[in-house]
Amino acid sequence: MNNDKKVEERILSAKEDYNKIPVPEEMKEKLEAGIERAEAEIGRAKTEKWEDKEGMGMKKKEKTDKKKRLYRMAAAVAAAAALLVILPNTGADVAYAMGNLPVVGRLFQAVTFRDYQYESERFEANVEVPRIVVEDVGKGEMGKEEAGTGEKEAGTGEKEMGKEEGGEAEKGETENRDENVQQTVDEINFDIEQATSQLIEEFQESAELGESYGSLEIHHETVTDNENYFTLKLSMYRGAGSGFESYKFYTVDKRTGKRIQIGDLFQEDSNYNELLSENIKEQMRTQMAEDEGKVYWVDYEEVPEWSWERLKEDQNFYFDTEGNIVIVFDEYEVAPGYMGAREFTVQRALFEGILK
């Protein structure tokens, strides 16, 4: 009997237990209390006329300005109510069966954990600071351990010992991966918190002085979430007279749990940098030939030291839905400011043969 059949049987056999599991009273009370607090907050928000965030006074807002926040609160109430039904009914057998099903695109998730808004006559901020959370890390360990035990019972003699060792090896690999995942996520979240907190503090200092104009926009987006990779894009825009837009891309290899840079994708001595860089230069030259309004600092004879030559070791990148690599440059990195941030897609057919 194959593994898929075993998983299916466990799911079916767990059905009756799933429906019989009682709701722990303590959990029920906590969740219901959370729902009541959220509902009360919504009621207050509907009649609230003044706000004071991050220690700064804010002007009166119309009711329509609060719709976004009210929607988030309502969603929180719905989610908490759903937990009353879902959480108690996750029995051990169901957890085992679900843990052994292939999980694609659900291991990592980006959520907004800080929402900072500010508005005055001269300054405005709209900030959503993300945090990566990990689901299912370690969930497969129970299945791996039981699978190793099952193989042990089925085998005899040397065959039995070999299977047992194999099960232990798989369990060890899973534990190492889970440790890598948690460490990687902690490091990324710390980096995000540092970068965004610094920008918010600088904005607050300028707003308190009130001597100029300024804006701050920080948003996030999951740009890659496939079987092998997860990439979070952090977009940061600072405006003070003129604006400046920059990005941070965080890519995690789901198979190892480690954060990777672009060079980690390719075989050693593959000359990937030259291959991709030359392709991007050709795209730049083509765009300039087709549109005289476009300018890139490639073959730039006027100021040779400005000419872009090759990708950085920590170059921003992500995979698109077709498996192509998209290279991302910050504003002013490869072109004048009016060109903004730039992206170039390198077709997978060009580099597929040198991937690890």
Mean pLDDT by 10 residues, the chain (356 residues): 50 47 51 55 44 40 42 43 37 36 59 94 95 70 41 50 60 76 95 96 92 92 95 94 88 94 96 98 97 93 87 97 97 93 97 96
Does 34 map to a domain? no
Q: What are phi and psi of 285, to 5 degrees?
A: -60, -40
State if pTM tops 0.75.
no
Segments forming the whole domain that contains residue 280: 261-354
Does 284 map to a domain? yes
Does 346 map to a domain? yes
Does 161 map to a domain? no
> pLDDT tens across 53-108, in order?
444 444 333 434 444 444 444 444 444 443 433 333 333 333 333 333 333 334 78
Does 269 map to a domain? yes
HSE (side-chain half, CA atoms, 13 Å) at 22? 3
The number of residues in the chain equals 356
**Residue 99 contacts by C-beta under 8 Å, 6 or more apart in sequence?**
136, 139, 140, 141, 142, 143
Q: How far apart are CA 235 and CA 247, in angstroms?
A: 5
Q: How far apart are CA 285 and CA 290, in angstroms?
A: 9
Indicate which CATH number applies to the domain containing 300. 3.90.640.20
Does 309 map to a domain? yes
Number of domains the chain contains: 1
> pLDDT tens across 155-200, in order?
555 555 555 556 666 666 677 778 889 999 999 999 999 999 999 9
CB-count burial class (<10 Å; 0-12, 13-18, 19+) for 352: exposed
pLDDT for the residue numbered 165: 59
Does 187 map to a domain? no
For residue 42, how many other CB atoms are within 10 A of its CB? 17
Does 194 map to a domain? no
The answer to whether the beta carbons of residues 312 and 291 sit under 8 Å apart is no
